[in-house]
């Protein structure tokens, strides 16, 4: 393959990723076909998505991986900064700030947070997201550091609060991303302050008492 053809292929692939991310964020993953992605990206070949990525599942994973390198790098840097910290807030920050800092770097409009929300609420694709997330060594290190500092919890309560925290971050980021695009009022003026508010709430969540069971 010539260099020119390779460059064009890379440009087409990137265009398809950006277009699919936006369409999935706006309409939901299930509602958008590969053909619609190809057409919206201005491709005369309606099978361009299949050619460059394969299935829709492969396309969804490719969109996630397009962003994960930046988030992984930010989290790794934060973990190095707080190594051995006895402050729960530091460890919770490592689970929040890499995402909000990445979203801030994208500018506005962006669609990644809303794309992740759509994937999270899809019964089939949510497992793809979970598999990608938990393959991250830095995420595992952040969780391990956090769990060392929280009170001992029943396993089902621990899982419940982990789900609550994950959903809070996903949906709060999506709400701010939407507000920025629409120019509506957001509770926080910056992504940095948005992260601070979520960290406050998550620390409270993990330290909250557990109601005694009858």
CB 48 within 8 A of CB 38: yes
Identify whether 212 is part of a domain.
no
Q: Answer yes or no: do 196 and 99 share one domain.
A: yes
Confidence of residue 45 (pLDDT cuts 50, 70, 90): confident
Per-chain mean pLDDT for the chain: 93
Same domain for 75 and 42, yes or no, is no
Q: Classify residue 125: in a domain, yes or no.
A: yes
Distance CA 37, CA 24 (A): 9
Is 7 contained in some domain? yes
Q: Name the residue range of residue 33's domain.
A: 1-54
pLDDT of residue 46: 79
pLDDT tens sequence across 166-212: 999 999 999 999 999 999 977 788 999 999 999 999 999 999 999 98
- Could you tell me the sign of the dihedral formed by the alpha carbons of 149, 155, 161, 166, in that order? positive
Same domain, 82 and 29: no
How far is it, in rounded angstroms, from Cα 173 to Cα 176?
5
Contacts of 189 (CB under 8 A, 6+ apart): none
The reply to whether 213 falls in a domain is no
Classify residue 136 by its DSSP letter.
-
Nearest to 51 by CA among 41, 106, 194: 41
Q: What is the pLDDT of residues 109-152, one digit of tens each?
A: 999 999 999 999 988 899 989 898 889 999 999 999 999 999 99
Shared domain check, 50 and 84: no
Question: Among residues 90, 55, 72, 51, which one has the least CA distance to residue 136?
Answer: 72
State the Cα–Cα distance between residues 81 and 117, nearest whole angstrom: 29
Same domain flag for 200 and 102: yes
Are residue 49 and residue 72 in the same domain, yes or no? no
User: What percentage of the chain exceeds 90 in pLDDT?
Assistant: 82
The answer to whether residues 49 and 132 belong to one domain is no
Residues 31, 80 within the same domain? no
Q: For residue 73, is pLDDT > 90? A: yes
CATH code, domain with 49: 1.10.10
pLDDT over 90 (residue 161): yes
| pLDDT score of 6 more than 90 | no
Q: Please state the domain count of the chain.
A: 2
Contact 151, 159 (CB under 8 A): no
């Amino acid at each position: 393959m010539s260099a020119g053809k390779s460059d064009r292929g890379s440009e087409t692939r990137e265009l398809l990723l950006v277009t699919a991310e936006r369409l999935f964020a706006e309409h939901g993953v299930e509602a958008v076909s590969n053909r619609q992605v190809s057409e919206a990206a201005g491709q005369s070949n309606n099978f361009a998505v299949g050619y460059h990525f394969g299935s829709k599942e492969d396309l969804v994973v490719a969109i996630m991986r397009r962003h994960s390198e930046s988030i992984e790098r930010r989290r790794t840097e934060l973990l190095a900064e707080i190594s051995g910290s006895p402050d729960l807030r530091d460890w919770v920050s490592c689970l929040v700030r890499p995402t909000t800092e990445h979203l801030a770097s994208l500018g506005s409009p962006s669609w990644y947070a809303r794309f992740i929300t759509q994937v999270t609420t899809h019964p089939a694709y949510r497992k793809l997201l979970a598999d990608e997330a938990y393959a991250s060594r830095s995420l595992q290190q952040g969780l391990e550091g956090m769990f060392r500092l929280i009170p001992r919890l029943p396993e089902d309560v621990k899982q419940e609060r982990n789900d609550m925290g994950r959903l809070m971050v996903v949906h709060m980021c999506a709400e701010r991303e939407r507000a920025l695009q629409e120019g509506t009022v957001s509770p926080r003026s910056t992504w940095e302050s948005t992260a601070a508010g979520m960290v406050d709430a998550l620390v409270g969540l993990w330290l909250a008492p557990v109601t005694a069971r009858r």
